[in-house]
Structure 1
Amino acid sequence: MSQSIPFVEYLALGDSPHLVANECTACGARFFDRRNACANCFATGFRKVDIATEGEVRAFTIVSLAAPGIPVPFVSATVDCAGTSVRANLINVDPTPEAVHVGMKVRLALQPVGADGSGVEAVNFGFEPQR
């Protein structure tokens, strides 16, 4: 049986994959990276909160030029997941203006990004259109 690990520490794998944010206990601001203090109110208390797995595209761009080895074009988007803003790529969708639009309903999707010599697979996330 092969093992999978999350590509980013805020991706929870398992039976119900989801994202986990650090929420400021004082003002409720949410962050996906580690923080010593809240960028909104400067408080220092945080708790882990699960993020909704469905959302709506609020903004996007079709990337046509990237670093060597990165396949283009692809869609980079900001997705509103029940009030939490998530930056991610849209996957399983044509990277064209005809296929993507603001207001598009999307859901969290997993994508393997590589494996090491032992067969341990790294899994990242993106969002795909709701069908």
Structure 2
Amino acid sequence: MAGQIPLVDYLVLDDGEPHLVAQECTNCGARYFDRRNACAGCFTTEFRTVRVAPEGTVRAFTIVTFAAPGVPVPFVAAVIDCAGTQVRANLVNIEPDPQHVHDGMKVRLTTQPIGTDSQGTEAIGFGFEPAV
């Protein structure tokens, strides 16, 4: 295989364990996963890259039953609190029903291949799965 690339810039694969990184405002501590010119909270323009905790707690979720053509349903979209950083991600490796998913459940980051290009490079995505 030619290698692996993360689907998003804030997923780090080549630094030991896979993990997420955020841009943290050096003034107020707000965290963002996308590139920012200024903090939405305090308008400061300086950020530092910080590692996001790989474990968290489900704070909100929805079970998606209708999606664009070709997107398998149902699936669980969730907001995960990772030690104060809010991460929006799908829950994976769990039945997508209210008997298995609940607010407050403990989860951990996981990665999975989502496709391979013609040169053999594998794209890697992430989600969260139940922590055991």
TM-score range, shorter chain: over 0.9
Query: Equivalent residue for 2:67?
Result: 66
Distance 2:105 2:2 in 1: 34
Q: Deviations over 1:35-84 (max 9, x none)?
A: 00001111100000000000000000000000111000000000000010
Which amino acid is 1:76 matched to?
Answer: A
Query: Equivalent residue for 1:9?
Result: 9
Distance 2:2 2:82 in 1: 31
User: What root-mean-square deviation, in Å, do the aligned CA atoms of Structure 1 and Structure 2 show?
Assistant: 0.7
The structure 1 segments of at least 4 consecutive aligned residues displaced by more than 3 Å after TM superposition are none
Query: Equivalent residue for 1:24?
Result: 25
Distance 2:96 2:2 in 1: 31
Distance 2:13 2:79 in 1: 21
- Mapped pair 1:114 → 2:115: yes
Q: Compute the displacement of 1:120 (Å).
A: 0.3
- Mapped pair 1:40 → 2:4: no
Distance 1:34 1:75 in 2: 26
Flag structure 1 segments of 5+ consecutive residues without an equivalent: none
Distance 1:100 1:108 in 2: 16
Q: Compute the displacement of 1:111 (Å).
A: 1.3
Q: Compute the displacement of 1:6 (Å).
A: 0.2
Distance 2:94 2:42 in 1: 38
Distance 1:19 1:101 in 2: 23
Aligned length: 131
Instruction: Tell me the TM-score normalised to structure 1 length.
Output: 0.98
Flag structure 2 segments of 5+ consecutive residues without an equivalent: none
